[in-house]
Amino acid sequence: MSNHLAADGGKPVCSTILPYGRQSVDEEDIQAVIEVLRSDWLTTGPKVSEFENAFADFVGAKYAVAVSSGTAALHSAVFAVGIGPGDEVIVPPITFAATANAVVFQRGTPIFADVDADTLLLDPCKAEAKITSHTKAIIAVDYAGQPCDYDSLKRITERHNLILIADACHALGATYKGQKVGTLADLNVFSFHPVKHITTGEGGMITTSNPQFAERMRIFRNHGITTDYHQRELQGSWYYEMINLGYNYRITDFQCALGLSQINKLKGWVKRRQEIAKFYHETFSDISGIIPLKINTNVSHAYHLFVVRVIKSELGMDRSKVFNELRKAGISVNVHYIPVHLHPFYQKKFGTYLGLCPHGEKAYEQIISLPIFPAMNNNDVHRVIDSLKIFITK
C-alpha cells in the first residue's frame, strides 16, 4: 500500500529533498562523453576548440577560452588584463568569494563597492566613487542571472580607461537591451559547475572580442607555455617556451564533449527557468513580506537563482525562520551570499568591516534562494509554495 501515512509506518510525506539547483544530464550527454573516452585525446584535443567555438557562437562572441573552472576563468581574465601588486579592482560584495579571490591571486586589491538595494547588482555610481589612480578594472556580477547596468558601467570604464570584466557565472542565456551576456564586457566569465546553466562537472569559459586577451589566457591555462601538446604533435616538434607564470587550468576533452552536448539544450532550459520564475513572481505578488528581487525592464533574466527577501515586519518572522521551516519540509533553500568583505580573510587582510556596504549587508539578513532548475516539474514548484504557505499563514 503506497498511501499509508508516515505515522502508520508508511513512506514519509517528504521522502525526497528538493535541491535549490541541480544539473540535467541525459543519455545523449553520457554517450558524448563515452565517445571521447574511447578516442585518442582525453585532454587538449579537438573537443576543446569545438566546445569553445560552439560557446562563442551561442553568445555571439569572437573568442572563447575554456578552462577547468569558473574560478580559473576569473583568474585567467584578471591575469589577461595585467592585474598585479598595487592594482585595485572594484567588485561587489554580494557574490561568490571567487570573484574577489581572483584579484588576490594576482596580488591585486579588491575594492568593494555596494550593490543597488533592489536588484543587488553592482551600483555603477558606487563603483565610480571608489575609483582611484590605482584602479585598473571593475568586475560586475550578473547576480542571480540578471545582467548588470552595462551601459552605465561601460560609460564609467571608458571615461576612466578601465577594463570591464563580467562575472557572468549566473547569467548564461540572459540578455541586456537585446544583447547577449558574453558580449557585454571586455571579458566575460562563465562557470560549468553542476548548479549552473550547463555543466561539464567542473569547468569555465571566458569570452572576449580582444585577440590579445584570448591568447594570453590560452597560454596562462597551460603553465604559461606558448604551444600546447597537441600543437607540438602536429608540428612534430618538442620545443616550447614558458613566457609567463601560468597554471594547469586546462579542461579535458570529455568535459568539453559534455559541454557541447549540453549547450544544445540551453535555450530550452533557460525558458523553463523563466517559466518557473514567472510562477513564483505571480504567487509572491499576493504574499506580503516575501518580495522577489527587482527585475529591470530592459533585460531577459537567466534565473540561475530565484532570490526573495523576507521582510520580518510584514511577514511576522525572519529569514532564519523561513529557512529552517523550508529545510524541515525537505526544501533545500540556500542563502547567496554572505557578503564577501565580511569573511574573516578579507577583514584581516584588507581591513574590510561591517558597514562598508550597507545595502549588501542589509540584503544578506533578508535573502533566501528558492529551488529553481530546469528539471523541476510543476509539482515541485507547487511543493515549494505549499510548504511555505503552511507555516506563514499559521
Ligand X SMILES: *Cc1c(COP(=O)(O)O)cnc(C)c1O
Q: Which residues are catalytic?
A: 196
Nearer to ligand X, 163 or 169 (CB): 169
Q: Spell out the long-range contacts of 151-160 with Cβ–Cβ below 8 A and sequence spacing 24 or more.
A: 151/177, 152/124, 153/122, 153/124, 153/127, 153/185, 154/185, 155/124, 156/124, 156/127, 156/128, 156/131, 157/186, 160/128, 160/131, 160/135
Nearer to ligand X, 111 or 315 (CB): 111
Is the Cβ–Cβ distance between 202 and 69 less than 8 Å? yes
Scanning 52-60, 77-85, 106-114, 166-174 for contacts with ligand X by CB under 6 A, the matching segment is 166-174
Nearer to ligand X, 121 or 169 (CB): 169
Which of 23, 43, 44, 71 is in the footprint of ligand X by CB under 6 A?
71
Which of 23, 44, 95, 183 is in the footprint of ligand X by CB under 6 A?
95
Which of 18, 48, 78, 141 is in the footprint of ligand X by CB under 6 A?
141
Which of 63, 79, 96, 249 is in the footprint of ligand X by CB under 6 A?
96
Name the helix (H) or strand (E) containing 111: strand 109-112
Scanning 54-62, 65-73, 259-267, 349-357 for contacts with ligand X by CB under 6 A, the matching segment is 65-73
Three cell numbers, residue 316: 511576522
Nearer to ligand X, 61 or 198 (CB): 198
Q: Distance (Å, rounded) from C-alpha 10 to C-alpha 1?
A: 8
Scanning 48-56, 67-75, 113-121, 247-255 for contacts with ligand X by CB under 6 A, the matching segment is 67-75
Q: Does 387 bind ligand X (CB under 6 A)?
A: no
- Distance of closest approach, residue 72 Cβ to ligand X, in angstroms: 7
Three cell numbers, residue 107: 596580488
Q: Distance (Å, rounded) from C-alpha 183 to C-alpha 233?
A: 33
Is the Cβ–Cβ distance between 169 and 190 less than 8 Å? yes
Scanning 78-86, 165-173, 306-314, 324-332 for contacts with ligand X by CB under 6 A, the matching segment is 165-173
Residue nearest to ligand X (CB): 70
Nearer to ligand X, 87 or 167 (CB): 167
Q: Does 306 bind ligand X (CB under 6 A)?
A: no
Residues within window 188-227 making contact with ligand X, judged by CB under 6 A? 191, 193, 204
Task: Find the angle CA(290)-CA(324)-CA(9) to the nearest 5 degrees.
Answer: 120
Which of 87, 167, 186, 253 is in the footprint of ligand X by CB under 6 A?
167
Place of cell 576612466: 160
Which of 66, 166, 169, 206 is in the footprint of ligand X by CB under 6 A?
169
Is the Cβ–Cβ distance between 303 and 372 less than 8 Å? yes
Number of neighbours of residue 324 by Cβ within 10 angstroms: 13
Q: Does 98 bind ligand X (CB under 6 A)?
A: yes
Q: Does 334 bind ligand X (CB under 6 A)?
A: no
Considering only the C-alpha atoms of the chain, give the largest distance between any 2 of them, rounded to a whole number of Å.
74
- Distance of closest approach, residue 116 Cβ to ligand X, in angstroms: 16
Number of neighbours of residue 389 by Cβ within 10 angstroms: 12
Total number of residues that touch ligand X (CB under 6 A): 14
Q: Distance (Å, rounded) from C-alpha 256 to C-alpha 41?
A: 12
Dihedral sign, Cα of residue 379, residue 382, residue 20, residue 95: positive
Q: In what order do the strands lie in the sheet with 135-141?
A: 63-67, 204-208, 187-191, 163-167, 135-141, 88-91, 109-112
Q: Does 272 bind ligand X (CB under 6 A)?
A: no
Q: Does 99 bind ligand X (CB under 6 A)?
A: yes
* Residue in 337, 328, 341 with CA at minimum distance from that of residue 13: 328
Q: Does 170 bind ligand X (CB under 6 A)?
A: yes
* Residue in 167, 169, 166 with CA at minimum distance from that of residue 197: 169
- Distance of closest approach, residue 68 Cβ to ligand X, in angstroms: 9
Nearer to ligand X, 113 or 169 (CB): 169
Scanning 10-18, 57-65, 93-101, 220-228 for contacts with ligand X by CB under 6 A, the matching segment is 93-101
What's the half-sphere exposure (Cβ side, CA atoms, 13 Å) at 277? 25
- Distance of closest approach, residue 325 Cβ to ligand X, in angstroms: 26
Q: Does 109 bind ligand X (CB under 6 A)?
A: no
Residues that bind ligand X (CB under 6 A): 69-71, 95-96, 98-99, 141, 167, 169-170, 191, 193, 204
